[in-house]
Structure 1
Amino acid sequence: MAFQTEFALFWESVKESMAQYTFAKLTLAKTIGDTELKNIYMRPVLVDDQVRISLIARYKTEEVESFHTLDEAFFVLSSYMNNPFLTALLFTTENDLTFKLNKKRIGSIVEQAPTFKSASDVVLEMKEKQLSID
């Protein structure tokens, strides 16, 4: 799909925010129509001092959490772009990036001022322990 290249560029910003300890959160939102799946939230978690990515899929009636490496998370999340999500929002302490698909399913990235003043608690702990994401 044409938007995959833009989403890969967006994902480079996700990886960079993790490496620089500025990541606050990531959300997939704005679905096509009324779907069972409402949002997917991404956040880092520490499992035995190893950084993993928690993906929480929020459905109408339940939430399902799965754990991945950062590379695995890219493939999982990219599979949901355009089916059913049109928007991915990356919140960092430096800026907010929004990946959007328009009606023609062409991707674009919009940068805005940061919403969060500090990184997520796990990212701050990663920095303190000098842990990096694999």
Structure 2
Amino acid sequence: MSYEPIFALFWERVKQSIEDKTFAKLTLAKTIGDTEIKNVYIRPVLLENDVMQMSVISRFKTEETESFYSLEETYPILFSLMNKPFLSALLFTSEQDVVFKLNKKRVGSITEQAPTFLNPSDVILEMKAKGI
């Protein structure tokens, strides 16, 4: 069974947290084996014209890169990184942490935990203040 439907549900939670202004950050972690890429961090940024983009920071062994995408463009990028090489995605919101994990058989699951961050990201707070 593909993990795509479960990851799509997880992504809906990501979009909902941005809409609800509770999003703090999103992290891909737990790589398979010794890989060049170590982590991916996703956070919203506001451009000069108050358009939100997603900053995707990829941390490698020896360098770090940052790219910017629309929210819609971010999903296929993250999905392509799941299973090869990442086994988990962690959504941090001010209400709860939502964790997507792949087990050894590559079956996806979603769990919820108490929030790590009490406040949404600064950009989300700025968007809320501006009514965006």
TM range (shorter): over 0.9
1:45 maps to 45
One-letter amino acid matched to 1:44: P
Provide the residue aligned with 2:18 in structure 1.
18
After superposition, give the CA deviation of every residue in 1:47-72 in whole Å (9 maximum; x if it has no partner).
Answer: 12110000000000000100001010
Tell me the distance in 2 between the aligned counterparts of 1:94 and 1:17.
Answer: 9
Q: Give 3-state SS (helix, strand or coil) of 1:53's partner.
A: strand
Q: Secondary structure at the match of 2:44?
A: strand
Give 1:82's aligned amino acid.
Answer: N
For residue 130 of structure 1, report the CA deviation from its aligned partner.
Answer: 1.3
Which structure 1 residue ranges, 5 or more long, are not aligned?
Answer: none
CA distance in 2, matches of 1:115, 1:12: 20
CA distance in 2, matches of 1:75, 1:130: 28
Q: Which residue is 1:92 aligned to?
A: 93
Q: Does 1:111 align with 2:112?
A: yes
1:23-34 paired onto structure 2 within 5 Å: 23-34=23-34
DSSP-derived class of the 1:38 partner: strand
Aligned residues: percent identity? 63
Aligned to 2:124: 123
Secondary structure of residue in 1 paired with 2:129: helix
Structure 2: which amino acid aligns with 1:75? P
The one-letter code matched in structure 1 to 2:71 is: L
Structure 2: segments with no counterpart, 5+ residues? none
Q: Counterpart in 1 of 2:80? A: 79
TM-score (norm 1): 0.96
**TM superposition score normalised by structure 2:** 0.98
Give, in whole Å, the separation in 1 of the partners of 2:78 and 2:127.
23
